[in-house]
Amino acid sequence: MSLKDSIRHFIIMQVMERPARRKGMVGLTKKLELAGKRLKDKFSKLEASESRQKTLRHIIAIERWGQSRLKVALGEALKEDENHSYKPDAATSWADLQALFAQTRAETLSIAKELTNSAINPLTTVKHNQFGPISLLAWLRYLEVHASLEARRHTR
């Protein structure tokens, strides 16, 4: 393992894997649900802007892309793709993007519950384009953290 790979592995363990393992599937699913409600409320109080719409389109794209990776553990083939193909159209209205976010998060929660109720080991890994193989637990943490950070940074 190269030094770069060792450093990346260390950071992923500290920031993603260990906190996710402490929460477990049920805890991460609850956290995703609560964060989704907070974000939905936050978005509903904001007026439309090009920047906010761009950010919400990105959040939705990453979440959909992450769903496709989580579904690999449920038997779907891994698509070697990026999040761009999951992004809603640029002409999608602010109101429609908010509804689409809520629907997308509900789908993520459904997948998380399906994984929780299955015999699949939550430490099963699925490839992340930047981080390499990460556990299903880390995927759920990634989706929650990513959406929350993006919303905080770009939707003031």
Q: Which CATH architecture has domain 3-154?
A: Up-down Bundle (1.20)
pLDDT value of position 84? 94
Which residues pair with residue 128 across a beta bridge? 132
Question: Considering the entire predicted model, what is its pTM?
Answer: 0.92
**Other CB atoms within 10 Å distance of the CB of residue 67:** 19
Rounded to a whole number, what is the distance in angstroms from the first to the last CA of the chain? Answer: 41
d(CA 80, CA 16): 22
* Element at 135 (helix H, strand E): strand 132-135
pLDDT value of position 4? 74
pLDDT > 90? residue 70 = yes
pLDDT > 70? residue 94 = yes
* Element at 40 (helix H, strand E): helix 18-44
